[in-house]
Homo-oligomer: A and B are copies of this chain.
Amino acid sequence: MTLTQLEYLLAVDTYRHFATAAEKCFVTQPTLSMQLQKLEEELGVQVFDRSRVPVRPTELGKDVIAQARVAVAEFKKIEELVKVQRDGISGELRIGIIPTLAPYLVPLFITDFIKKYPQVRITIQELVTNTIVEKLKLELLDVGLLVTPLHDKTIVEVPLFYEAFVGYLHPSHPLSSLKEITAEAIDPAELWLLNDGHCFRSQVLQLCNRAKDTRNVHLDYESGSLETLKRIVETQSGMTLLPELSVQELPADKTAMVRPFAEPQPLREVSLVVHRSFLKRKTIEALRDEIVTHLPQGLRERHPVRVVKIK
C-alpha cells in the first residue's frame, strides 16, 4: 500500500469516474486503474463497485475511504508543519461562502488579509450551504463561511458573530409606520423570498413560524440574490427580511426603509467551518482573526440572544 494508491482511491471516490480521477492526479487512466487493482488485491477487498455507472464504493469500501481520508490528511500535515515553519502562513486557501453573506462580509476583510499574508493565494466561491459542506468533505474547499449549526459530526464549527435580521419595507407598507417590527406582525405570505436552497430562505420562514415551505407567497418570482429583493422592495412594494450586514452601507433614503426587530432581536449564528481533519490550520486561524477584527463594532461585541436555527 502506497500513499499514491490512496490518493488515487480518494480521487475516484471524489469524482466517481476513473478517467477524471486519473486526470486530476496527473496520470493516465490505465495507471490509476492498475494501482487501484493492486491496492484492492493487497487489502483483499473490493473498494469500488465498477458494475454501476457512475462507480460507487462498496459498503466496506466506504469505511476504507473514510479512513484513507484521515490518513492522507495526517500525512499532508507533515508537509504543512515544515512549510509553516519555513515560509510562515502561505499556500492556497479555498473559501466557500454563502451568497447572503459574501457581498457584505468579504469586502470587510479581504484587502487587509491579502496585504497581511501576501503568500496566501485565495479562491472564493459563492455556494449554498449544502454544496459547501459536500466540498469540504471532498477536500475541494478548505474552509466555509456560513450559518450554523449544521449538525454534522465531520464538520467543526467556529462561531464568528451573531447577525441580526432586519426588516426592509416599502414606505407604503403598513408596518413601515412602526419603529420596530416583530415576527408575529409579519405575514409570511407577503414576504419576498430567496430561491429554495438558500439557507436564508428557511431561516426567514422559520423566524415567522412557517417551518414548512410555502407556495404562492406573493408571486412565483423568487430571487437568487438579496440585492434583487431589495430592488423589488425599493421600486415596487411589500417587504423582505435582510441580514444586518447587508444594510450597513446604505444611503440615507434607503436606510429609512430599514426596521430592526424589537428586542430580543432574532439572530443568526455565522461561523467559519472546517473539516475535522483540520488541514491548513494556521492559515485558517489567521483568516478567522482577520474576519473578527474587521467586523463592525456592534457585531463583534454582541452576545447571542435568540438565535434562529436552520432546519
Contacts and interface: CB of A to CB of B under 8 A. Distances in A.
A1 B3 CA distance: 8
22 contacts: A1-B75, A2-B2, A6-B78, A43-B79, A43-B82, A44-B82, A44-B86, A45-B82, A60-B85, A63-B81, A64-B78, A64-B81, A64-B82, A67-B77, A67-B81, A68-B78, A70-B74, A70-B77, A71-B71, A71-B74, A71-B75, A71-B78
Interface residues of A, number: 24
Interface string A34-46: 0000000001110
Contacts of A4: 2
Main DSSP-derived SS at the A contact region: helix
Given A63-B81, A67-B81, A78-B67, A86 B45 contact: yes
Contacts of A81: 63-64, 67
A234 to B, nearest CB: 55
Contacts of A63: 81, 85
Nearest to A59: B85
A67 B64 CA distance: 21
Interface in A1-25: 1-4, 6
A202 B215 CA distance: 75
A63 B86 CA distance: 13
A79 B2 contact: no
Contact of A85 (B1, B45, B70): B45
Q: Which of A60, A75, A77 has the most CB of B within 10 A?
A: A75
Contacts of A64: 78, 81-82
Nearest to A76: B71
A71 B74 CA distance: 5
Contacts of A68: 78
Nearest to A82: B43
A167 to B, nearest CB: 50
A91 to B, nearest CB: 14
Contacts of A60: 82, 85
B2 A78 contact: no
A77 B45 CA distance: 15
Nearest to A65: B78
Nearest to A75: B71
A1 B79 contact: yes
Contacts of A1: 3, 75, 78-79
Interface in A61-111: 63-64, 67-68, 70-71, 74-75, 77-79, 81-82, 85-86
A278 to B, nearest CB: 12
A59 to B, nearest CB: 10
Nearest to A60: B85
Contacts of A75: 1, 71, 75
